[in-house]
Amino acid sequence: MTLDGTDRAILALLQEDAGLSHAELGERVGVSAASAWRRIKRLEEGGLIRARVALVDPARAGLTVQVIITVTLRYHGDGQREAFEAWADKRPEVMSCYALTGDKDYVLHVVVEDMAAYDHFLTGDLLHQDYVASASSSIVLREIKYTTALPIGG
């Protein structure tokens, strides 16, 4: 999909505030509300805009523990990878899961209420999966930077 400067500006604004009206977006980027709507529709239909969501503060929602976990699988066949990825996708505590190069196979970002909930997630679930050889956890002390905005420009 080819993006012009107006498309990029719209994307940048939507990443800051997806609740902006078409009229507000159009005014800020110098097009009509109808043109802004058509552009957004095209970006959605093209798959560039995957969703428009509200970002919830984890601590205010009672989710006070964040953990970064690296996971190593026992075996590296397609079935093992598919099983792990399906398991991670189903877990609401797993905010993100990335397949890696190097000596670890995956990294997870997990958010839970407290350490007891994390212990249950780790020892009661993750480490019980047959395809998991090991997991190493790092507890997040504080968040320095968090963004969902891609550096698209605009």
User: Would you state the pLDDT for residue 154?
Assistant: 56
Each residue's pLDDT, cut to its tens digit, for the chain (154 residues) gives: 899 999 999 999 999 999 999 999 999 999 999 999 999 999 999 999 999 999 999 999 999 999 999 999 999 888 999 999 999 999 999 999 999 999 999 999 999 999 999 999 999 999 999 999 999 999 999 999 999 999 987 5
Name the residue among 145, 144, 91 with its Cα closest to residue 117.
91
pTM above 0.85, yes or no: yes
Q: 29, 10 in Cβ contact below 8 A? A: yes
pLDDT for res 13:
95
Domains present along the chain, CATH in parentheses: 5-45 (1.10.10.10), 65-139 (3.30.70.920)
Distance CA 7, CA 29 (A): 9
**Residue 137, token pair as written in the block:** 């956890």
Q: Given CA atoms 39, 45, 47, 51 in this order, what sign does their dihedral have? A: positive
Q: Provide the pLDDT for residue 78.
A: 86
Q: What distance in Å separates the CA atoms of residue 94 and residue 109, rounded to the nearest whole number? A: 6
Query: How far, in Å, CA of 81 to CA of 73, rounded?
Result: 8
